[in-house]
Amino acid sequence: MNRTPLYDVYSTYPGVKLIDFGGWELPVNFKTGIIAEHMAVRNDAGLFDVSHMGEFLVDGPGSDDFVDYLVSNNVASMSNGQVMYALMCYPSGGVVDDLIIYKRATDSYLLVVNAANIEKDLAWVTCENPWVTDDSKVMPTIINKSEAYVQIALQGPKAQGVMESLWSGAKELEFFRFNESVVIGGIECLVSRTGYTGEDGFELYLPSESGVTVWNTLMEAGKDAGLIPCGLGARDTLRLESKLPLYGHELTKDITPLEANLSVFVSLESGDFCGKAALLQQKADGIPRSLRGIIMEDKGVPRAGYDVYRGDELLGHVTSGAKSPMLEEFVGLVMVKRGAGLKLGNIIEIDIRGKRKKAKLVKTPFYKNTGRKK
C-alpha cells in the first residue's frame, strides 16, 4: 500500500487504527475514537493528514481558457489567490471528479483532485477530454505534483487561533482564498481556508520532505486549544452531517451535478464547458432525481447502495449513511426520483438486508455551524 510522508509520525501514536483506503494505508481513527475526533472538530480543533489527495499544476499560455472549459464552474471570474470548488464532467454530464481549483496567477492553476481518481483524472485532463483533440485549441503544460506535496487540514472553531499563533495573517485570510508564502515551523507553505467538515479551517500544502516538521509544529501549537489528530472516520461523519459530497457516492459518472443538487457550482448561463450541452438538455427535460436527506425512524444503518422504497415503488438508493454524533441519530443521503410527490416529513423505507426500515425525509444539511466564517 501507498503511505504518505506523515505515516512515520502517526503510525507510532498509541491506539491508532490504520486501514486500506483505496490503496493507501491511512488512519481511520486514533486512540480517542471517531466520535471524540468528530466532536473535537465541532468544538475545538482537529488535524488531518490528507496528503493522499492529488495535485496537478496547470501552467502556461492557454491555461485560463483550458481550465474554464474543463470544469463546470465559472473559472473566468476567478481572481488571483482565489479558491473555487467545481466539477469535471464527461460530455454526457456525468462527473469525472469534483475538485478544488487554486488560481495562482494568470494562466497558472493548482487543481486538487480525489486520491482514488488521480490516474483517471490525469488521463482525462491530459489526453482524453475533447479540448485535447481540437487542433485549434492551445494546450497548457500539465504536471502531476501529487508526490511532491504534503497536505495537512486543520479544522474546527479554534483552528484560527492555532494558526494565528504561528502566522499573524491567519485572521485576515478570507474564506476560499489562499496565500502561497506562509512560513510555518520554518517551512514555506501554501495556506488556504476552505474545509471539508462544515467548520472553519485551513489547508496547508508544503514539500513532502517537510511534512513531519509542520505536522509536529501544528500539534504543539494546538495542544492548549484541544487539538487532536483525526482520521478518515471523523472526516466522513463530519462531511455527511454537512451534506458535502463524496466522489463514488453522491457523485459518479452516472450522477450529474444537477441530480446531486450542486447546480450552484454549474455555470449554465456563461461560457462553455465539457458536459454543458448535456446538462442543459437534462434541465430542459426535467431533472429525473435528486439528493435528499433522511433520519432513520426504525433501528438500522442506511448504508450506501441500499434500495429506497415507498410502498412497492422503488424510489432510488442510499448514497451515504452513518450515525451523526451531533444529532445522535442515524442519518443518510438518498438519490431518489423527482416527481414522486416526496415532501419533508414523509416516511420512506430503506431495504436493510431484506427488511424494510422506516426513515423520514428531513432538511439538509443535518448540522450547520451558523458561526462559521464566510
Check if CATH label 2.40.270.10 holds for domain 7-51+148-241: no
Average pLDDT over residues 97-103: 98
Categorize the per-residue pLDDT at 373 as very low, low, confident or very high, splitting at 50, 70 and 90.
Answer: low
Share of the chain above pLDDT 90, in %: 96
Average pLDDT over residues 66-74: 98
pLDDT score at 371: 64
The torsion region of residue 311 among left (phi > 0), alpha (psi -120 to 50) and beta comes to left
Residue 246 has pLDDT above 50, yes or no: yes
Neighbours of 220 (CB within 10 A): 14
Q: Which residues neighbour 119 within 8 Å (Cβ) at sequence distance 6 or greater? A: none
Residues 369, 88, 254, 277, Cα dihedral to 10°: 110
Contact call for residues 271 and 335 (beta carbons, < 8 A): no
Write down the architecture of domain 288-362 according to CATH: Beta Barrel (2.40)
Categorize the per-residue pLDDT at 374 as very low, low, confident or very high, splitting at 50, 70 and 90.
Answer: very low
Please, where in the chain does CATH 3.30.1360.120 lie? 7-51+148-241
What digits encode the pLDDT tens for the residues 164-213? 999 999 999 999 999 999 999 999 999 999 999 999 999 999 999 999 99
Residue 227 has pLDDT above 70, yes or no: yes
24-29 and 201-207: which strand pairing? unpaired
What digits encode the pLDDT tens for the residues 203-214? 999 999 999 999
Q: Which residues neighbour 4 within 8 Å (Cβ) at sequence distance 6 or greater? A: 24, 26, 49, 51, 52, 150, 211
- Determine if the pTM surpasses 0.75: yes
What digits encode the pLDDT tens for the residues 11-22? 999 999 999 998
Average pLDDT over residues 3-9: 96
Average pLDDT over residues 240-250: 98
CA atoms within 13 A on the CB side of 293: 20
Please, where in the chain does CATH 2.40.30.110 lie? 288-362
